[in-house]
Each structure stands twice: as structure tokens, then as C-alpha cells.
Structure 1
Amino acid sequence: MEDSGGDSIERKRAVITGVSHNNGIGAAICRELAAKEIDIFFVYWQSEDGFADGFEQEMLDAGVSCRSMELDLALPDAAEKLLDAVYTACGPPDILVNNAAYSTRDGYENLTAEMIDRHYEVNMRTTMLLSTMFARRFQGSEGRIIIMTSGQEQGPMPGELAYIATKGALSAFTLSFSAEAAPLGITVNAVDPGPTDSGWMDEQTKALLEPKFGRGRLGRPRDAARLVAFLAGEEASWITGQVIHSEGGFLRS
């Protein structure tokens, strides 16, 4: 990692996937972890020119070391490539945040094998492989794996069949994998941020969703990021195998 000019105290290192634009949940997670003096390695894909360099500099200015990698997480060997790069550039990581996701609209009339496979490659295969490879290589005493999910068990999400199926699989994976990872000193939890205004909503969508929030506003990227930062910290060392719904009182009816 780039030297931020700080002292020589060994700090925690975090790998965060799905950090591809400034207003996303991934970027917010990086900012919250950097505020806790955790060094950052972020993964992006198909971002605007200059985003990665600019965001790296933002992290350096925040006082932590930072490196990044452009990587298509749909590739079969993406997990291995990523962890190899992290170990080479930075050393062993302590925290893995599986934030990247693939999502398209489908519905029963449009669902195809290609759509299912694309969701599976990014949402399930690489997330599961990253998590298990992280555990196999883990060298520390306290590790954290955090998986972003989507509240699919809270109610139906019509028109997103491939997405909710793959995200639902991650909830099941979180519970069972947490039992295997616990003896290694690694906690495994999932976070459902609910509908979050991270740049994908048009004004019509915002107007439809906002009245459904008990807190009176849409979710913001920092809402999810603060919970992820908590789960990544020492205070959450006794929490594992949980899917935490942090939705601001969102009503699906």
C-alpha cells in the first residue's frame, strides 16, 4: 500500500469490492473504515476515467494507505486474482466487505439463462469464493467478513428474480459459513441496507419509495457504511451469522 506518512504501527487492512463511483455504498464504506484508521484496498469496475486515482487520493488524504484494482468479478478466477494482488501489494487483510453486486430487471417473461448466470457469477460465485479463500489464507486473530444483501426475505421483489435468488443464497451462506469460520477467529455477517439513494434512483422512484420509510427519508450510503464499520470493529466481535436489516422502517406493503 502507499505510505500515508503515518507512524509504523501495524493497522488493520480492509478489502472492499464494488467501489465504482463516489456516491455509492462502497465508497461510503471506505470512508467510514478510513475514519477508523483502517487501510483500504478497493475494487472497481467500469468506472469513469480518473475515479480510482481520485478516490485513492481521498483515502490518502484521510490518513490511511490505499490501493485499488480494476477487476471484472464475473471472471471465474476473480477471487484468486484479487487476493493475490492484495497480499502482494499490502500483506494479509483483516476485513473483507463483499459489496459488489450485479442487478438487472427481469421478471418471468424476460428471465433467461444468461441473466441467471451473470447474477450468479458476481453475486454468488465470487462472493463465496472470496470469503472462503479469505478464511483459508487468514493469518490474524480477529477477522471480519461482511456481505451486502438485499432484504429479499422481508417481502417480494417482483421483476428481480435472478437478483433476489442469488442474494437469498448469500443469506443462507452467511449463516452456515459463519459456523465454519468462527474457530478461525472470523465473524461473518450480512447487511441489508434497504433501498438506498446511491445514484441509481430516478425522481419517480424516489417519490414512490420515500413515503414507505418510517424515518421519513430514503436510505443514504452512509447509513449502511456505519453499520459495516461497526461490524468490522472490535465492538462486534461477538456478533456472527447474522443478517441485519438496516432499513429505516421501510414498509413493503
Structure 2
Amino acid sequence: MNDLKGKIAIITGASRLKGIGAAICRELAKTGCHIFFTYWTDYDKSMPWSIEIDEPLKLKEELQQKGINVSCMELDLSNPDAPELLLNQVVERLGYPNILINNATYSTNNTFANLTTKELDQHYKVNIRATTLLSIQFAQKFEKQFGGRIVNLTSGQFQGPMPGELAYATTKGAVDALTITLSAELAPLGITVNAVNPGPTDTGWMTENIRNDLKPSFPFGRIGEPTDVAKTIKFLVSEEAAWITGQIIHSEGGFRR
């Protein structure tokens, strides 16, 4: 997709080399798209999958080998000033962005029996507030002649329930609603807004038991990989997808719940 060459993409939440964020960076870098990604190692270190402290630097070096401009920053998206800070840094270091991928997420297990105000607020700050404000900042700084793209990562909340992930399901479900309304508001600016649900994806968090339990639900006989959703997103940010907006795309290999 040569139409992406020289464009500037922001990808949030690209801390881990095995993650979806890193896969998106790689796919867009193949097209000659310049990359600015964010990461937040404190969050990943607190999760069961953890992270090696140098993974973001390794990703940056890997992307630079593609001959593109690459920049990154560690950023806590729960900070209310984070969206403005990020967009200002992108403009200063690379130029005005053409593409925004809201990939960063906050997720912990909770139910009606133990969900606290603090935990719900943390999900809201990252999954909804940061996604909304980043999209607004992107649109306000947008230069129309480039053809803008926003892609939000969602998780198929309206495909079925997610017991044990009450705060995550609630806030990610709101991303779908944001996508539909924001797409109508930004269409006059030439910006498309879509969301992608990758379904269960093996980014390093799955145990062998989880893989075995999930595999029969995939008609292709395999678990989703980060590159699967990254390729879908590469299409959505291309010129070929200029007529697609306001859509929630379930790129999950026919996963049956």
C-alpha cells in the first residue's frame, strides 16, 4: 500500500514485542509509514505476562531498520494532560500525524462483587477518556489534504458477555459508541473513524490450557495472532478504505462464542 509511504502514524500501547501494538507498528512500517508509539512499562510489569524493560527500545531499533522515521515516549495515558502532550510531541518530532491507532488499554479482572470506584475509574481514564481526547486532539491538529484515519481497538463486547471483566467490558463497549458518533462528526474533515475487535489473540498471555480451550472455537483451527489484526488495520488506514467509516469490524477469524 504505497499510499501510506511518508505518512505519520501514532500507535498507543506498544510496550511489548509480542503485543498487538508492536504488530501494528511493524505492518505500517513495511509500507514506509513513519511511526510514533507510546508505551507504559509500569502497567505491563504489573501484569502476569510482565515485560523486559528494553522491549520498547528494541521495537524502536527494529522499526528504524525499515528506513523510516521512528519516535516513541513513555506515557501514562491516565494522566488528563497526556493526549495534548502526546500530540505536541508528535508534531514536534515527526510532523502532523495522518493516522491514530488507539490501541492502549487498561484491563484487570473484576466482577460485581469486588469492583471498586478506583478500579473502574482507572479503566475509564485509559480506555475511554484517553481514547476520546486523543481523537479530539488528532482532529484539531489535522491537515485535511492528507486524508485522516482513526482506528480504535475494541473487544467485541456486543458479541457476548465477558464475565469476570466487568470494568473492561463496560469501558470497551463505550469505545464502540464513541466510534459511531465520532465518525459522523469527523467525516466533513475527511477523517474516517472505525473500531476493530481482534477477538482472542495470542500476545503472550495465553497458557497452553487456554489455547486448547479456545482453539475449537476458531473454524480455521488456530488462535488469532497479532499480525492478523495488524493487517486489518493496515487496510483501514489506507486509501482503499476511504469509504469505510463508523464501523465495528470483527477481525477474529470467525470465533464462535
TM-score (norm. length: structure 1): 0.94
The number of residue pairs the alignment matches comes to: 243
Which residue in the other structure is 2:34 paired with?
39
Tell me how far 1:202 sits from its aligned partner: 1.5
Query: Aligned AA for 1:60?
Result: Q
Are the counterparts in 1 of residues 17 and 56 from structure 2 also a CA contact under 8 Å? Answer: no
Which residue in the other structure is 1:162 paired with?
167
Q: After superposition, what is the alpha-carbon deviation per residue over 1:128-148, rounded to whole angstroms, capped at 9, x for unaligned?
A: 000011001101320000000
Which residue in the other structure is 1:3 paired with?
none
Are the counterparts in 2 of residues 73 and 126 from structure 1 also a CA contact under 8 Å? Answer: yes
Name which of 5, 22, 25 aligns with 1:27: 22
Which residue in the other structure is 1:85 paired with?
89
The answer to whether residue 92 in structure 2 is matched with residue 97 in structure 1 is no
Name which of 220, 223, 226 aligns with 2:228: 223
Q: Distance in 1 between matches of 2:214 and 2:86?
A: 36
SS of aligned partner of 2:68: coil
Name which of 71, 89, 113 aligns with 2:117: 113
The alignment-based identity, stated in percent, is 56
Are the counterparts in 1 of residues 69 and 94 from structure 2 also a CA contact under 8 Å? Answer: no
Gaps of 5+ in 2: 42-50
Which residue in the other structure is 2:207 paired with?
202
Within a 5 Å distance, the mapping from 1:1-253 to structure 2 comes to 11-46=6-41, 48-141=52-145, 142-252=147-257
Tell me how far 1:220 sits from its aligned partner: 0.3
TM-score (norm. length: structure 2): 0.93
**CA RMSD, aligned part only?**
1.0
Tell me how far 1:15 sits from its aligned partner: 0.3
Are the counterparts in 2 of residues 38 and 64 from structure 1 also a CA contact under 8 Å? Answer: yes
Q: Distance in 2 between matches of 1:24 and 1:54?
A: 13
Q: After superposition, what is the alpha-carbon deviation per residue over 1:87-144, rounded to whole angstroms, capped at 9, x for unaligned?
A: 1111100000000001000011111111110100100000000001100110132000
Q: Distance in 2 between matches of 1:160 and 1:52?
A: 27
Q: Distance in 2 between matches of 1:65 and 1:38?
A: 8
Q: Distance in 2 between matches of 1:18 and 1:31?
A: 14
Query: Which 4+ residue blocks in structure 1 deviate beyond 3 angstroms?
Result: none
Are the counterparts in 2 of residues 94 and 140 from structure 1 also a CA contact under 8 Å? Answer: no
SS of aligned partner of 2:105: coil
Gaps of 5+ in 1: 1-9
Q: Distance in 2 between matches of 1:140 and 1:50?
A: 37
Q: Distance in 2 between matches of 1:94 and 1:118?
A: 28
Q: Distance in 1 between matches of 2:212 and 2:113?
A: 27
Query: Aligned AA for 1:226?
Result: K
